[in-house]
Structure 1
Amino acid sequence: MPSPCDPLYAPAGDVGTALMVIDSRLKAIHDGKAETDPEQQQLIDQFTASLGPKEAHDVVDGACTLIYMFMQWLRTTYEDHDRDVIEYVVPSFVASMRMMPKSVRPEVIPTMTGLVVAAGTGLSPSLWRKQYGDWTGDEMNSLEVTAVLLAEHINRLTDDRDFATRVITEALSISDQD
């Protein structure tokens, strides 16, 4: 019997916008800045302020889709080396989140960890989270941090700071052609 959290039932959301936000965060990290460029941040803030509730929900679903895609890439990569993705991703993920108390509230870490484990085991992060109720405001920064940390994990594995963004862009390009 298929799981109600099967990705086939999940909305993809606005992956393009979610990827734009994640990519700008990654670029800020690699430029050695704790924050995104003020001009870039202003553009992101203006854009997100212009979103209605449905569009904002679509961006959240898009971030969950990114998390799913990143974890599937990591899962395949680790399995190719006879390793378990959960064992090799989750401990460093949790440790990184614990070092970010200004961006990630401690009580949200278990939820984000569950989201990563769900994605790593082939479940839709958005449908997995939905079974526990609506997203909270405290989870929004943590959701973004989750996607950034997974993308950065991929970038470190490949020794290519743009790999995670590129792999998603290529996947989107292929899906647009279909």
Structure 2
Amino acid sequence: MSSPCDPRHAPAGDVGSALMMIDSRLKAIYDGNTETDPEQQALVDQFAASLGRQGLEDMLDGACTVIFMFMKWLRMAYEDHDKDVIAYVVPNLVATMHMMPKSVRPEAIPTMAGLVIAAGTDLSPSLWRKQYGDWTTDEMNALEATAFLLAEHINRLTDDHDFATRMITTALSESDRA
């Protein structure tokens, strides 16, 4: 029986914009900038404002698609070592988000854990989230942090600072060719 949260029914969204935001955060952290640069944040805010409501919804769906793809890769990597992706990724993600109270409100953490668990069990994070209503403002930073933390986890596992974004970019360019 097919689930209403089956990824085949989910919109891919604007994966390119979501990936650009994640990549920009990764590069800043890898360059040693642990604080959010006000100028960088202003550019991100300006970009988000330029998208309009539909563009923002597309970027949210894109971020969920990226989270799904990251979790799919992580699930395969952990299964290759007879480990459960949920047991290794979710506790780390939740603990890290708890250490980020300026960026991630505590109320958003259970939703982000749910998104990751949905993706880790081969459900669409976007469709899983939609069953609980509209996104909240408090969830925006948490969603970005979730995608960023998953990308950083993959990069650490592969010992390659660009692996996660390159993996998504490669998948996008291969889908364009198909």
Question: What's the TM-score once normalised by structure 1's chain length?
Answer: 0.97
SS of residue matched to 2:161: coil
Query: What letter matches 1:14 in structure 2?
Result: D
Matched-pair contact (CA < 8 Å) for 1:24–1:36: no
Tell me the distance in 2 between the aligned counterparts of 1:35 and 1:55. 27
**Match of 2:99?**
99
Query: What letter matches 2:159 in structure 1?
Result: D
**Match of 1:5?**
5
The alpha-carbon deviation at position 107 of structure 1 amounts to 1.2
List runs of 5+ in structure 2 lacking aligned partners: none
Alignment of 1:47-58 (within 5 A): 47-58=47-58
Tell me the distance in 2 between the aligned counterparts of 1:90 and 1:57. 25
Is 1:44 paired with 2:48? no
Is 1:155 paired with 2:155? yes
Question: What's the TM-score once normalised by structure 2's chain length?
Answer: 0.97
Tell me the distance in 1 between the aligned counterparts of 2:57 and 2:97. 23
Tell me the distance in 2 between the aligned counterparts of 1:62 and 1:168. 11
The alpha-carbon deviation at position 37 of structure 1 amounts to 4.7
Identity of aligned residues (%): 76
The alpha-carbon deviation at position 63 of structure 1 amounts to 0.3
**Match of 1:59?**
59
Calculate the aligned-residue CA RMSD, in Å: 1.1
Is 1:14 paired with 2:14? yes
**Match of 2:29?**
29
The alpha-carbon deviation at position 7 of structure 1 amounts to 0.2
Is 1:68 paired with 2:41? no
Tell me the distance in 2 between the aligned counterparts of 1:112 and 1:74. 16
Is 1:131 paired with 2:131? yes
**Match of 1:78?**
78
Between stretches 41-50 and 146-155, larger displacement belongs to 41-50
Tell me the distance in 1 between the aligned counterparts of 2:130 and 2:55. 17
Matched-pair contact (CA < 8 Å) for 1:118–1:124: yes
Query: What letter matches 2:4 in structure 1?
Result: P
The alpha-carbon deviation at position 36 of structure 1 amounts to 4.8
- 1:11-65 CA distances to partner (integer Å, 9 max, x unpaired)? 0000000000000000111111124555543432221111111011000000000
